[in-house]
């Protein structure tokens, strides 16, 4: 497959980069440059062709050549680096450069292999009779001409980055077409006067919209107000009881608190039963596959005789029959009619725009050939919204769709395959990578992007950073309905993603075909969830030695055996387990670019051997970090729970570092010039405990957008904020367990780009005394603030009006037990959309209700939402 070429190109560019001081290639440089040029030329042609007309055997040949080149080059790089480390250690000298030499025969063979596939691609696409005698003589002009011809005869996709967001598919993800009657019927069953606990099964084939219908009901305002408690859990084919119980105990859109995470399965079952007992609840168990699971959980759902409901979704009718105990009618979802199918497709592709008359007949044809399956329509709609809007393109796609639908069982997978085949080359590996994660996994966008970058999938165009490009990749996959946004940030932007289980099936099937994931004769990327799977992969050490990603999602697996095998690995994600000591074997993985590890010990001496490391994540408290850490100039993202940076007599120079959290501020750290050495930092977390008089100047960090400041309220350091100089570009600011002065709030008002402000577990003070009030001053304007989060504060009085927060959209107030009321003028802010109150006093709740009442009765503002949790 052609996408492997980008990874190869990334490797070669790193070796040949004139600013890269690590590798000395000497006489091999011309051949490596030639390899790079050939790989870039081949990729250019294949990008234009979108692989539409390339036979599978040629795809396999391109893939195998790419893999072979990567293996030869990276094996030599790893061997050279390890040898250099041993020499340096033995001779007690430090060398910044490593000699890198290749056998001439290896590079010659790789060159010939690339020439051969180039010849076959050009012959296939141009119809040219290229002879073996001129395999190595393709000029840049010939490549350009071939690419232009390909562009004119193949399906032309509109430039991804210039597409309008007007037809964003994610916006219609929960829109339902043709199921109004289903909604009304199920709402009635959920809210009728029947007091006995009722189980409501929603059944139907995969992709028919069972989960979407259940989610729309779950989030419906009538349902929210009717039930005292709601819980949702995705079950899947391999249910994890611990995760399911935690999901049911999690408040909507909130994280699991640490106390629940620490409980075992039996304790969680008891907590769930007690939480549901005596309350009218709605539970959704999404995607049940077996009766055994129901037998394990049924006793923990009490019948309070108060109208509680349990809704399940399943593809298996016998499971629904068993769970409902034959006493409840199944709600069997039907395929959409032709007219409803076209309505849904038109909504996805055109949004609020009118569909041109010329496209209606062909659009109706495409919609009808999706067989009334909503997910298939969403996927085809995602494709149509991204390609050139012309009759030729739509007719071409309609022919492909019709050809794909041969038999009922194959219809859906063929439609999904069509969407995959028309993905741009650079998006294919990113989509296939989702198959490495367990079913129903919610994956943070930052994690995905860092892993894609570490694998070499992302190419920077020079104007954007790798992270910015990867963010565009995520957006494009969401717009094509191949990824789902499962959680959003406070500013409304996507934070976490998942893949529909049927799309994940496609990921795995395609990945197996293309030897992208763990298959019988290839272990390029390996994901294990059990000890059995670990034993299986360790039984093939030769194949495992070539793995580039290893992801372990279990906390009960011994990984020491596999660490000795992984030689060329780029991504090592073992964050699911807690390790007492940092495994020394990891220090031999010098090709590593991404490391996520939950280790309670400090990072060991020798960590700088991982000279390629881009991302280091450790969610456990790290007691110290060796100063050697600051010699790793490739670092881009560092995420620690909290740590003390051990500082030696070194110069900070981490120009690529974008994310650093959380660092413990000490006088020695400040004197070392730490913050002067990270000029491109975007996200920073700092922690104070003592030394309140330390002055920290961050004003020169012009790219810093996200700042998290934390302390301990019972320590002197909690008063450090008056000594902190903020950069002007801050967009998100979190203050946790700090003392907040009036002068600080005045300073925050001067930050022109501040969109999100969280003040959590802080104490408000005035002139050294507890103020217990926040009185926004006249002219004290948070001009760009969109989201305000106040939690666990000593506030009693809060005085403000609409002029203080002119753009505020959302207000979240949690556990502010002393707060008497929310300022009534908050409701007059033109942009205001939502108030959320969690565990506050009755007067606070009453003030929020009064704001809502005034807005609705006096101003007719029914868009304002109030949530009391």
Longest CA pairwise span in the chain (Å): 87
Q: Interior CA angle at 433 toward 580 and 485, to 5°?
A: 90
- pLDDT over 90 (residue 720): no
Per-residue DSSP letters for 715-772?
SGGGGGGGGEEPPTT--EEEEES-EEEHHHHHHHHT-TT--EEEEES-EEEETTEE--
Q: How confident is the model at residue 402 (pLDDT cuts 50, 70, 90)?
A: low
The beta-carbon contacts of 514-522 under 8 Å, at least 24 apart in sequence, are: 514/1, 514/59, 514/63, 514/432, 515/63, 515/67, 516/1, 516/429, 516/432, 516/435, 517/432, 517/435, 517/436
- Distances, alpha carbon 867 to alpha carbons 737, 812, 854, in Å: 26, 9, 16
Per-residue DSSP letters for 793-826?
---SEEE--TTTSTT--EEEEES-TT-----GGG
| 696 neighbors 674 (Cβ within 8 angstroms) | no
Say if residue 459 is exposed, middle or buried (CB neighbours under 10 Å; 0-12, 13-18, 19+).
Answer: middle
Per-residue pLDDT, 226:
94
The pLDDT tens digits of the residues spanning 464-482 come to 899 999 999 998 888 777 8
CA–CA separation, 582 and 102 (whole Å): 33
pTM, two decimals, is: 0.78
Residues 6+ apart with CB under 8 A from 858: none
Range 719-742 average pLDDT: 91
Phi, psi of 363 (to 5 degrees): -65, -40
- pLDDT over 90 (residue 404): no
Per-residue pLDDT, 390:
85
| 263 neighbors 241 (Cβ within 8 angstroms) | no
The pLDDT tens digits of the residues spanning 735-745 come to 999 989 888 89
The pLDDT tens digits of the residues spanning 542-585 come to 889 999 999 998 777 888 888 999 999 999 999 888 888 899 99
- Provide the angle, in degrees to the nearest 10, between the axes of the packed helices 265-276 and 241-249: 30
- Residue closest to 734 by CA, chosen among 773, 781, 687, 782: 687
Per-residue pLDDT, 703:
94
- pLDDT over 80 (residue 173): no
CA 569 remoteness from chain centre: 21
Per-residue pLDDT, 370:
81
Q: How confident is the model at residue 310 (pLDDT cuts 50, 70, 90)?
A: very high
Residues 6+ apart with CB under 8 A from 323: 199, 201, 288, 291, 294, 312, 314
- pLDDT over 80 (residue 502): no
- Residue closest to 376 by CA, chosen among 399, 406, 405, 396: 405
- Residue closest to 794 by CA, chosen among 776, 770, 775: 770
CA–CA separation, 599 and 596 (whole Å): 9
Per-residue DSSP letters for 179-231?
-HHHHHHHHHHHHSS--S-EEEEEE--TTSSHHHHHHHHHT-HHHHHH-SEEE
Range 291-314 average pLDDT: 93
Task: Kindly state the DSSP code that residue 572 receives in the 8-state scheme.
Answer: E
| 812 neighbors 787 (Cβ within 8 angstroms) | yes
CA–CA separation, 638 and 681 (whole Å): 11
Region at 635 (left for phi over 0; alpha for psi -120 to 50; beta for the rest): beta
Per-residue pLDDT, 568:
95
- pLDDT over 80 (residue 811): yes
The pLDDT tens digits of the residues spanning 106-164 come to 999 999 999 998 888 888 776 644 443 444 444 445 445 544 444 433 333 333 333 33
| 822 neighbors 811 (Cβ within 8 angstroms) | yes
Per-residue pLDDT, 128:
44
Does residue 800 or residue 693 have the better pLDDT?
800
Range 605-614 average pLDDT: 90
Torsion, CA 346, CA 505, CA 500, CA 614, rounded to 10: -110
Residues 6+ apart with CB under 8 A from 450: 594, 614, 615, 636, 637
Q: How confident is the model at residue 850 (pLDDT cuts 50, 70, 90)?
A: very high
Point out which residues pair with 578 in neighbouring strands: 598
Does residue 500 or residue 91 have the better pLDDT?
500
Range 213-226 average pLDDT: 92
CA–CA separation, 709 and 686 (whole Å): 5
What's the mean pLDDT when you consider all of the chain? Answer: 83
Residues 6+ apart with CB under 8 A from 713: 737, 738, 739, 761, 762, 763
- pLDDT over 50 (residue 166): no
Per-range mean pLDDT, top range of 16-25, 251-260, 519-528: 519-528
CA–CA separation, 389 and 164 (whole Å): 13
Point out which residues pair with 573 in neighbouring strands: 551, 596
**Picking from 272-281, 314-323, 335-344, 618-627, which range would have the lowest pLDDT averaged per residue?**
618-627
Task: Kindly state the DSSP code that residue 439 receives in the 8-state scheme.
Answer: T
Range 191-201 average pLDDT: 92
Per cent of the chain over pLDDT 90 is: 38
The pLDDT tens digits of the residues spanning 689-705 come to 876 678 889 999 999 99
CA–CA separation, 832 and 809 (whole Å): 4
- pLDDT over 50 (residue 189): yes
Count other Cβ atoms within 10 Å, centred on residue 151: 15
The pLDDT tens digits of the residues spanning 407-458 come to 334 556 666 676 787 788 899 999 999 989 988 788 999 999 999 999 999 9
Per-residue pLDDT, 192:
92
Range 663-668 average pLDDT: 84
Tokens 């994600």 belong to 573
The H-or-E segment that residue 357 falls in is helix 357-368
SS3 call for 494: strand
CA–CA separation, 391 and 370 (whole Å): 19
Does residue 754 or residue 14 have the better pLDDT?
754
- pLDDT over 60 (residue 171): no
- For residue 194 the two structure tokens come to 């029947």
- pLDDT over 50 (residue 405): no
- Residue closest to 199 by CA, chosen among 315, 278, 284: 284
Range 794-816 average pLDDT: 93
The beta-carbon contacts of 541-545 under 8 Å, at least 24 apart in sequence, are: 541/565
Per-residue pLDDT, 757:
96
Count other Cβ atoms within 10 Å, centred on residue 809: 18
Count other Cβ atoms within 10 Å, centred on residue 19: 4
Tokens 């994890």 belong to 240
- Residue closest to 663 by CA, chosen among 631, 641, 693: 641
CA–CA separation, 865 and 852 (whole Å): 8
The pLDDT tens digits of the residues spanning 346-395 come to 988 888 888 888 888 889 988 888 878 887 888 788 788 877 788 888 88
Burial 198-232 (b: 16+ CB within 10 A, else e): bbbbbbbbebbbbbbbbbbbbebeebeebbeebbb
CA–CA separation, 297 and 290 (whole Å): 12
**Picking from 95-99, 301-305, 406-410, 455-459, which range would have the lowest pLDDT averaged per residue?**
406-410
- For residue 737 the two structure tokens come to 């367990």
CA–CA separation, 817 and 794 (whole Å): 8
Per-residue pLDDT, 641:
79
Per-residue pLDDT, 131:
41
Per-residue DSSP letters for 33-47?
HHHHHHHHHHHHHHH
- Residue closest to 119 by CA, chosen among 133, 109, 105, 106: 133
ω into 662 cis (within 30 of 0):
yes
- pLDDT over 90 (residue 590): yes
| 554 neighbors 577 (Cβ within 8 angstroms) | yes
The pLDDT tens digits of the residues spanning 70-95 come to 999 999 999 988 888 777 666 555 55
Q: How many residues does the chain have?
A: 869
Per cent of the chain over pLDDT 70 is: 87
Phi, psi of 594 (to 5 degrees): -135, 125
- pLDDT over 90 (residue 788): yes
């Amino acid at each position: 497959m052609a996408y492997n070429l980008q990874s190869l190109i990334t490797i070669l560019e790193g070796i040949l980069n004139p600013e890269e001081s690590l590798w000395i290639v000497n006489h091999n440089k011309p051949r490596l440059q030639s390899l790079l040029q050939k790989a870039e030329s081949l990729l250019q042609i294949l990008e234009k062709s979108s692989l539409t007309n390339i036979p599978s055997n040629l795809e396999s040949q391109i893939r195998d050549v790419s893999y072979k080149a990567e293996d030869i080059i990276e094996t030599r790089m790893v061997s050279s680096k390890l040898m250099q480390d041993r020499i340096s250690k033995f001779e007690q000298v430090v060398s910044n450069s490593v000699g890198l030499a290749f056998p001439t025969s290896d590079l010659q063979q790789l060159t010939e292999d690339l020439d051969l596939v180039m010849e076959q691609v050009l012959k296939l696409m141009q119809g040219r009779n290229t002879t073996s005698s001129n395999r190595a003589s393709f000029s840049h002009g010939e490549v350009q001409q071939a690419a232009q011809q390909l562009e004119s005869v193949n399906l032309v996709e509109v430039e991804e980055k210039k597409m309008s967001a007007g037809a964003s598919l994610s916006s219609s993800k929960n829109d339902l077409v043709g199921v109004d009657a289903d909604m009304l019927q199920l709402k009635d069953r959920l809210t009728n006067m029947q007091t006995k606990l009722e189980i409501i099964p929603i059944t139907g084939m995969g992709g028919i919209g069972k989960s979407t219908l259940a989610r729309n009901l779950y989030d419906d305002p009538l349902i929210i107000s009717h039930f005292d408690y709601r819980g949702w859990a995705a079950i899947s084919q391999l249910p994890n009881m611990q995760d399911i119980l935690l999901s049911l105990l999690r408040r909507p859109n909130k994280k699991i608190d640490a106390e629940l995470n620490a409980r075992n399965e039996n304790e969680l079952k008891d907590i769930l039963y007690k939480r549901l007992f005596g309350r009218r609840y709605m539970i959704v168990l999404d995607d049940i596959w077996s009766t055994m699971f129901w037998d394990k959980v049924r006793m923990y759902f009490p019948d309070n005789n108060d109208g509680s409901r349990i809704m399940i979704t399943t593809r298996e009718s016998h499971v629904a029959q068993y769970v409902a105990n034959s006493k409840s009618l199944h709600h069997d979802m039907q395929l959409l009619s032709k007219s409803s199918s076209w309505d849904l497709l038109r909504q996805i592709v055109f949004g609020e725009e009118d569909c041109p008359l010329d496209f209606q007949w062909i659009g109706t044809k495409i919609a009808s050939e999706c067989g009334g399956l909503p997910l298939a329509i969403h996927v085809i709609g995602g494709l149509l919204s991204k390609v050139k809007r012309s009759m030729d393109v739509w007719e071409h796609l309609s022919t492909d769709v019709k050809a794909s639908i041969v038999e009922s069982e194959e219809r859906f997978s063929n439609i999904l395959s069509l969407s995959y085949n028309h993905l741009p080359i650079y998006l294919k590996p990113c989509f296939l990578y989702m198959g490495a994660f367990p079913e129903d996994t919610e994956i943070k966008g930052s994690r995905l992007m860092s892993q894609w970058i570490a694998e070499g999938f992302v190419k920077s165009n020079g104007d954007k950073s790798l992270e910015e490009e990867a963010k565009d990749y995520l957006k494009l996959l969401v717009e094509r309905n191949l990824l789902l946004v499962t959680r959003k940030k406070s500013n409304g932007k996507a934070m976490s993603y998942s893949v529909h289980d049927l799309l994940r099936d496609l990921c795995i099937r395609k990945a197996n075909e293309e030897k992208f994931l763990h298959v019988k004769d290839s272990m390029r990327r390996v994901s294990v969830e059990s000890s059995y799977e670990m034993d299986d992969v360790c039984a093939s050490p030769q194949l495992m030695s070539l793995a580039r990603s290893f992801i372990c999602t279990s906390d009960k697996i011994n990984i020491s055996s596999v660490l000795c095998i992984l030689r060329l690995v780029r991504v090592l994600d073992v964050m699911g387990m807690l390790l007492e000591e940092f495994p020394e074997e990891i220090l031999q993985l010098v090709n590593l670019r991404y490391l996520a590890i939950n280790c309670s010990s400090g990072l060991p001496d020798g960590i700088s051997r991982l000279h390629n490391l881009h991302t280091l994540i450790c969610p456990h408290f790290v007691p110290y970090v060796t100063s050697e850490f600051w010699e790793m100039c490739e670092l881009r993202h560092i995420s620690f729970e909290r740590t003390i940076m051990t500082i030696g007599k070194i110069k900070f120079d981490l120009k690529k570092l974008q994310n650093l959290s959380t660092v413990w501020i000490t006088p020695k750290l400040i004197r070392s010039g730490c913050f002067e050495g990270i000029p491109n930092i975007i996200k920073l977390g700092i922690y104070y405990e003592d030394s309140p008089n330390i002055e920290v100047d961050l004003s020169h960090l012009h790219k810093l957008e996200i700042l998290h400041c934390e302390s301990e309220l019972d320590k002197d350091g909690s008063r450090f904020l008056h000594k902190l100089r903020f950069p002007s570009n801050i967009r998100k600011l979190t203050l946790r367990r700090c003392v907040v002065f009036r002068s600080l709030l005045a300073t925050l008002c001067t930050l022109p780009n501040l969109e999100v402000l969280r003040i959590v577990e802080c104490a408000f003070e005035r002139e050294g005394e507890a103020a217990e009030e926040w009185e926004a001053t006249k002219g004290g304007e948070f001009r760009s603030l969109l989201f305000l989060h106040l939690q666990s504060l000593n506030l009693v009085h809060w005085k403000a009006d609409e002029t203080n927060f002119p753009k505020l959209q959302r207000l979240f107030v949690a556990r502010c037990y002393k707060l008497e009321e929310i300022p009534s003028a908050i409701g007059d802010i033109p942009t205001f959309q939502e108030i959320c109150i969690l565990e506050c006093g009755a007067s606070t709740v009453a003030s929020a209700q009064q704001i809502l009442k005034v807005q609705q009765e006096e101003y007719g503002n029914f868009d304002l939402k109030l949530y009391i949790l």
